[in-house]
């Protein structure tokens, strides 16, 4: 167990990477039409073949879905780590900034409008999420610095406002109620390569924080102390906030609001590898991807051809694991 020391971060990362690899293989192999490992190899090497049903299941449905679940899991976990540290609050999840509610409003508008041609629901969700980030940001900016406390309050307020508007739209657009409710619950069902492409935009935003692990470690001791130790607090704070906001907005726009991952993955990883961000960030990224990948696998296979909402599975998988680690962590 490496705690706070400058011991190598690689064992933790290697373990999480191995976990993710196992999760990827399982997710690609298992499903209503299971594959053998040799079939998996065959499909991967042959690439998409138009007109072949088994190939279409693999390349058009299963592959993008698995990749999307893993990408979103990584995005939410990284955003969770950043925001828990910035707010110095263990109950923080990526949705407190109001970004998810803004995205929900955008998605709802997209669903109600019934425009065709482009994935409007996803695009408007992204716009709504980013717009909310901008509004909250402006509310919290005072004399050139960002007041974290005001940011939190502004985020909560915007969330309420956006939720109220979503409810109004839901009641107005009675026929779209089902689509809106399912969007809010979060799901990877029916998602394809278009959503994967959007989620991939977030990759640079997952990598940037990895270059600020020293600053993040120091800022855990409070802004004042960090200033004394020569950290450019405001600059770092801004960069991290935008990063977490964009990650959340992208994640929510492609799959709706999936709870628990962004809250609990950072905690679980902290219990295992300790609070140093050199391990915490990359391991959370990989573990978030693995957890949501596994959760989606269960979501689509346990009661197939029906599906369990993935948010329900993340909670069922994550909650017992979290409680176990909390108890073990206390004893250690």
Partner 1 sequence: MSTTRPRRGFAAGIILAAIALAAVGLTACGSSTSSSSSPSASTAAGPIAVTDSAGNTVTLQQPATRIVSLAPANTEIAFAVGAGSKMVAGTTYDDYPAAAKSLPKAGDFSNPSVEKIASFNPDLVLITGGVQAPLRAKLVKLGMNVYVIDPTTYAGVMTDIANVGKLAGTSTQAQKVVASMKQAQADVQAKVGSLATKSTFIEIYSKPLMTAGTGTFISDMVGMAGGTNLGDSAGAGFPNFSSEVLLKDDPAVYIADSGSMSKPGDLSTRPGFSSLTAVKDGHVYVIEDSLIARPGPRLALGLEQLAKMIHPEAYTTP
Opening angle at CA 99, ends 310 and 210, nearest 5: 85
Burial of 57 (0-12, 13-18, 19+ CB in 10 A): middle
Residue 190 or 230: which CB sits closer to partner 1? 190
User: Cα separation of 75 and 261, whole Å?
Assistant: 10
Question: Considering the rule CB under 8 A, would residue 171 count as an interface residue with partner 1?
Answer: yes
Site for partner 1, residues 260 to 289, rule: CB under 8 A: 260, 263
Question: Considering the rule CB under 8 A, would residue 182 count as an interface residue with partner 1?
Answer: yes
Question: Considering the rule CB under 8 A, would residue 150 count as an interface residue with partner 1?
Answer: no
Residue among 36, 38, 47, 51 that touches partner 1 (CB under 8 A): 51
Question: Considering the rule CB under 8 A, would residue 8 count as an interface residue with partner 1?
Answer: no
Per-position x/- string for 212-251, each x denoting binding to partner 1 as judged by CB under 8 A, each - no binding: ----------------------------------------
Residue among 27, 92, 253, 276 that touches partner 1 (CB under 8 A): 92
Buried residues in 109-145 as b, exposed as e (16+ CB within 10 A): bbbbeeeeeebbbbbbbbbbbbbbbebbbebbeeeee
Shortest distance, CB of residue 314 to partner 1, whole angstroms?
10
Residue among 1, 3, 11, 32 that touches partner 1 (CB under 8 A): 32
Which parts of this chain interact with partner 1 (CB under 8 A)?
Answer: 31-33, 50-53, 55-57, 60-62, 64, 91-93, 95-96, 98, 100-101, 104, 111, 114, 116, 155-156, 159-160, 163-164, 166-167, 170-171, 174-185, 187, 189-193, 257, 259-260, 263, 300, 304-307, 315
């Amino acid at each position: 167990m490496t705690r706070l020391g400058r011991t190598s971060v690689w064992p933790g990362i290697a373990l999480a990477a191995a976990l993710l690899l196992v999760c990827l293989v399982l997710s690609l192999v298992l499903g209503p039409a299971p594959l053998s490992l040799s079939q998996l190899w065959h499909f991967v090497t042959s690439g998409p073949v138009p007109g072949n049903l088994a190939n279409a299941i693999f390349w058009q449905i299963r592959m993008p879905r698995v990749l999307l679940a893993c990408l979103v899991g990584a995005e939410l976990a990284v955003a969770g780590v950043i925001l828990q540290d910035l707010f110095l609050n263990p109950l923080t999840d990526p949705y407190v900034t109001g970004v998810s509610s803004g995205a929900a409003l955008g998605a709802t508008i997209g669903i109600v409008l019934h425009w065709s041609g482009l994935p409007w629901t996803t695009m408007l969700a992204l716009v709504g999420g980013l717009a909310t980030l901008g509004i909250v940001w402006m509310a919290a900016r005072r004399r050139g610095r960002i007041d974290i406390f005001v940011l939190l309050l502004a985020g909560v307020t915007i969330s309420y406002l956006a939720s109220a508007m979503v409810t109004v739209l839901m009641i107005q657009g009675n026929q779209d109620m089902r689509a809106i409710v399912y969007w809010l619950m979060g799901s990877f069902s029916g998602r394809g390569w278009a959503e994967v492409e959007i989620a991939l935009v977030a990759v640079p935003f997952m990598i940037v924080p990895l270059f600020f692990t020293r600053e993040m470690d120091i800022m855990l001791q409070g802004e004042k102390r960090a200033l004394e130790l020569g950290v450019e607090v405001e600059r770092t704070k801004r960069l991290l906030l935008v990063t977490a906001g964009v990650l959340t907005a992208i994640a929510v726009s492609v799959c709706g609001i999936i709870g628990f991952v962004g809250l609990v993955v950072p905690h679980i990883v902290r219990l295992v590898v300790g609070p140093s961000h050199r391990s915490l960030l990359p391991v959370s990224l990989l573990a978030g991807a693995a957890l949501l990948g596994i959760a989606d696998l269960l979501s689509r296979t346990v009661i197939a051809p029906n599906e369990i909402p993935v948010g329900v599975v993340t909670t069922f998988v994550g909650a017992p694991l979290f409680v176990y680690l909390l108890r073990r962590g206390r004893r250690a």
